[in-house]
A = this chain, B = another copy of it.
Amino acid sequence: MSSNQTPDWQPLKRSRAHEMVIDAIEEQIMAGLLRVGDPLPPERELAARLQVSRAGVREAVRVLESDGILRSQRGAGPEAGTFVSALPRQGLTRLLRLHVALANFPMTDVVDARVVLERSSAERAASNASTAARAEMRAALARMDAPEVSREAFNDADTDFHIAIAEAGGNELVASLTAAIRGALRIPIQQAVRAVEHWDSLADRLRQDHRGILDAIEAGDGPTAARLTEEHIRRSATDLPAGFGGVTEPT
């Protein structure tokens, strides 16, 4: 029972200054001592207290800011300084966008993930959707119906429709993930859409798809809403050109 195990030498991870600052801030948050809206000490003061340079503090703040955990504001007065915040979507979107562009997440996986998340949201939306949420969906649909709407505006409205459903589903995390994935696809989708030949007919089909989903939700028919959502997502992915990958062709 004594020396049955060979010693495993794990590489020591040297912790850098800004990482210790992140950990220190994280610790306060985990302990509940920092809540949304609370201010952090001024950079200079925090640096002095943690015994690191201001640059180290700033690097940490930058990272947490990019995660939507902090928010910095210049100037003087009660609005100035760095505060705990709650904006997960932006950071989530950038993270996913870049990993999609790097093909760390293959497009087929992204499509399947959308199906899983959005089926669930659509189904829940059919029973949950508030009046406000339904109005949001109709507004997005109306923007897609606008005459002479540009392909970009059309797509942004399309995105808004899907996000509205996700939010109507009532799950903040699922909604954020859905919004982030959609946001990550914004540029590749726009590229693909610009290259489409028969845009008018495609746009019409998308409008019909959305209308069908909305009808199912308003009728309280969750299973149908889920099924239509899946069909819509898969068909759209298929119809858009292969360059959908987002990365320009290598060599």
Smallest distance from the beta carbon of A198 to chain B beta carbons, Å? 27
Contact A88 B104 (CB under 8 A): yes
Specify which chain B residues have a CB less than 8 angstroms from the CB of A176 in the assembled complex. Answer: 105
Within 8 A of B (CB), among A55-71: 55, 58-59, 62-64, 66-69
Specify which chain B residues have a CB less than 8 angstroms from the CB of A32 in the assembled complex. Answer: 247-250
Specify which chain B residues have a CB less than 8 angstroms from the CB of A181 in the assembled complex. Answer: 173
A120 CB–B CB distance under 8 Å = yes
Give the copy number.
2
A106 to B176, CA, bound (A): 12
Within 8 A of B (CB), among A24-69: 26, 29-32, 35-36, 55, 58-59, 62-64, 66-69
Within 8 A of B (CB), among A81-114: 84, 86, 88, 91-92, 94-99, 101-106, 109-110, 112-113
A106 to B86, CA, bound (A): 13
Contact B117 A99 (CB under 8 A): no
A172 CB–B CB distance under 8 Å = yes
Known: A59-B59, A62-B18. A29 touches B102 (CB 8 A): yes
Partner of A59, one of B58, B116, B174: B58
Known: A32-B248, A105-B172. A67 touches B68 (CB 8 A): no
Contact B105 A99 (CB under 8 A): no
Contact A187 B30 (CB under 8 A): yes
Within 8 A of B (CB), among A232-251: 246-250
Known: A31-B248, A99-B88. A109 touches B63 (CB 8 A): no
Specify which chain B residues have a CB less than 8 angstroms from the CB of A187 in the assembled complex. Answer: 30
A116 to B175, CA, bound (A): 12
Contact B59 A173 (CB under 8 A): no
Contact B104 A172 (CB under 8 A): yes
Contact A36 B104 (CB under 8 A): yes
Contact B109 A120 (CB under 8 A): no
Against B, the Cβ 8 Å flags (1 = close, 0 = not) of A101-138 are: 11111100110110011001000000000000000000
Specify which chain B residues have a CB less than 8 angstroms from the CB of A116 in the assembled complex. Answer: 116-117, 120, 174
